[in-house]
Structures are given as structure tokens and as C-alpha cells.
Structure 1
Amino acid sequence: MLVECYDEKGAEVYEMIIKQIFQDLVLGPSVQDLRAFINPDGPVFVLVIKMKKTSSVTKLEDVAKLSYKKEEDVTDIFVENENFLPNILKKLWFMYSREDIYQPTRYNIELQGNQLDLHDMVVDNPQSNLQRRIYDAIFRILPEGFKIIKDLSKGDIISVVATDELIQDQWIEKAHEYMDEL
């Protein structure tokens, strides 16, 4: 972790804030490295975070069995891993509607028609979940009032430039320097 600031005490305080927020959100083990640049006179805040690799996505076919009952024109989904049930229902409710989804038992879900193509539906994406948690941390870390934000994130690197004025090219360059370092 590197926190740069023209004010040495300010750098120490922000390093402490970042560590505390990461500890509160249990993000420490998920982050490989971090760079921050703070200039209160600028005013600018640049934060670049490299995430560690996560496990791969979980598809519906990984946690459930799908079968089509032709005589009833119903697709039956039997959920084998209960931990993913809330995610499965949430995705199905978004794709269809709650009225179109029948759940006769805790682990069984029925849909009208042949819906076997749902086997590829992503029910959990750890990379996306980690990104969401890191963005939550970033918005807690950013100084209050820094409402102008430019997201330069790419791949497993999350990069944000924030200010309360117009974003200057030199700040974007600083973010790109940090991204190249990571």
C-alpha cells in the first residue's frame, strides 16, 4: 500500500482510514495492492486498487438440475445447493416475473415452457461481487464533497479520480501511472 500526499500527517491519516475501512469490510485478503494520491490543495483524490483473482462464475447447471416435462410444458429446476437459491430466484424474478415462477417446494422451481437454455445462467459471479464491495469501500474512503468522479477501471484494477472541481489531465495521468505500476 502506498499513500502519497504532500502533507505527511495527511498521508498517515488516510492510510489509517483506508486500512480501517478495508478491515471493516473484510477486503484486505481480496486486495493485492493499492495506490492513493491525495492533494487537498488540488483538490484531488486518486485511488487505484488491484484485486486478487477470484474463483470462477457459478452457473445454474453447477448448482441445480433442469428437466423439461413435455406433457405438462413445464421446466423443472431442482436446486441442489441451497446457498444459491436466493440468487437463482432473484435472477428468475428479474428475467420473468414472480407470477410466472412457481415454487412448489423449497428446492423445486417450475417455469412454463422449455427453459432448458437457462443452464448457462450465471447465478454467482465472485469477481463482480468483489468489485461491488471495493466500490463500496472507495465511496466510504473518498473525501466528502468530492462528487466529480471519473472511473478508469480496467480488468482487475479499479481506478478512480475524484475532486470537487473539474478533473485535470495530470490527475488522470497519475491514475494511469499507478495502474501501470500495479
Structure 2
Amino acid sequence: MYIESNDPEGAKVYDMIIRQIFQDLVLPPSIDDMRAYVNPDEVCFIIAIKMRKTSKHITLKEVANVNYNAEEDTTVVLIDDEKYLPNILRTLWENNGRENVHQPSRYVIHLAGEQEVSNLVVDDPHKNLKRRIYDAVFRIVPEGFKIMKDISRGDIISVIATDELIKDEWIEKAEGYIVELNTPKTWD
């Protein structure tokens, strides 16, 4: 973790703020590295965070049995792993509409007609981690910095924030942080 600033005391304060927010959101085990730039003279804040690799996504067929009942013209989803039930319901509601998803009992879901839902992603750890890191970034950005530019790529979340127009040199600095975080460390 590295914080660049023309104000050494301000950098220490931001280091403390960032560490505290990361702790509050239980992010340290999920972050490989981070760079930040704070310049109160230019009213600029840049942050780039490299996420650690996450486990692969979970599909419906991994946590439930899906069968078509031709007599009733219904796709039946039998839940095997209850911890995914809220995600399963949310995903089916998003894809089919809430009114088309019926749950006659805790572990059984009915969908009208024959539907291919086995490969629906019901849990995506990478997406969930990304959401939590963005939450941290929005808590870290100084209050009043309403102009933001997201230049995130792959496993790196990078945001430039200011209350002025974003300068090209800030974008270049953020791009530099992305390159730096993507460069494997070598130990001589």
C-alpha cells in the first residue's frame, strides 16, 4: 500500500482512513496492493486497488437439481444448498420476473414452461468483491469530490475524483498506477 502526496501528514491520515475502511469492510485478505494519490493543492484524489483472485462463480446446477415436468409444463428447481437460496431467487426474479417464479415450499421453485436455467450464475465472488471494493472507494473519496472517472480494468479498481475538471495528467497518473499494479514484483 502506497500513498503519494505533497502533504506527508495528509498522506499519513489517508493511510489511516484507508486502512480503517478496509478493516471495517473486511477487505485486507481480498486486496493484493493499492496506490493512492492525494493532492489538496490540485483538489485531486486517485486510487487504484488490485483485487486478489477469487473462487469461480457458482451456477444453479451446482447447488440445485433442475427438471422439467411435462405433465404440468413446469420447470422444477429443487434446492440442494440452502445458503444459495436468496441468490437463486434473486437471479430467477431478474431473469423471469418475480410474478413468474413460484415457491410452493422452502426448497422447491416452479417456473412456467420448459426453461433452461441450469447454467444461470447464482453466486459470483469476483463481482461481489468488486462491489465491496467500490463501496470502500466511495467511502474513502474526500467529501465534496463529486466529479469521478472510473478507469478500472480487470482485477484493478481505479477511480479519479475531484471537484474540478479531470486533467489529462491525473488520468496518466492513474493509468501508471494500473500498469504498476499489473507488473509482477521481482525480488532481486
**TM-score, normalised to structure 1's length?**
0.98
Instruction: Tell me the residue number matched to 1:22.
Output: 22
Instruction: Tell me the residue number matched to 1:150.
Output: 149
Instruction: Tell me the residue number matched to 1:104.
Output: 104
Instruction: Tell me the residue number matched to 1:178.
Output: 177
1:39 aligns with 2:39: yes
Instruction: Tell me the residue number matched to 1:55.
Output: 55
**d(CA) in 1 for partners of 2:94 and 2:153?**
27
Aligned residues: 181
What code does the residue aligned with 2:177 have? Answer: Y
Instruction: Tell me the residue number matched to 1:123.
Output: 122
What code does the residue aligned with 1:144 have? Answer: E
Residue segments in structure 1 that go unaligned for 5+ positions in a row: none
Instruction: Tell me the residue number matched to 1:138.
Output: 137
Instruction: Tell me the residue number matched to 2:184.
Output: none
What code does the residue aligned with 2:167 have? Answer: Q
1:164 aligns with 2:163: yes
**TM-score, normalised to structure 2's length?**
0.95
Instruction: Tell me the residue number matched to 2:94.
Output: 94
What code does the residue aligned with 2:164 have? Answer: E
What code does the residue aligned with 1:108 have? Answer: V
Deviation at 1:179, TM superposition (A): 0.6
What code does the residue aligned with 1:121 have? Answer: L
Residue segments in structure 2 that go unaligned for 5+ positions in a row: 182-188
Equivalent position SS for 2:41: coil
**d(CA) in 1 for partners of 2:167 and 2:31?**
27
**d(CA) in 2 for partners of 1:100 and 1:83?**
22
C-alpha RMSD of the superposition: 0.7
Most deviating of 84-93 and 129-138? 84-93
Deviation at 1:100, TM superposition (A): 1.8
What code does the residue aligned with 1:118 have? Answer: V
Identity over aligned pairs, percent: 57
What code does the residue aligned with 1:50 have? Answer: K
**d(CA) in 2 for partners of 1:44 and 1:90?**
38
**d(CA) in 1 for partners of 2:149 and 2:91?**
30
**d(CA) in 2 for partners of 1:133 and 1:107?**
29
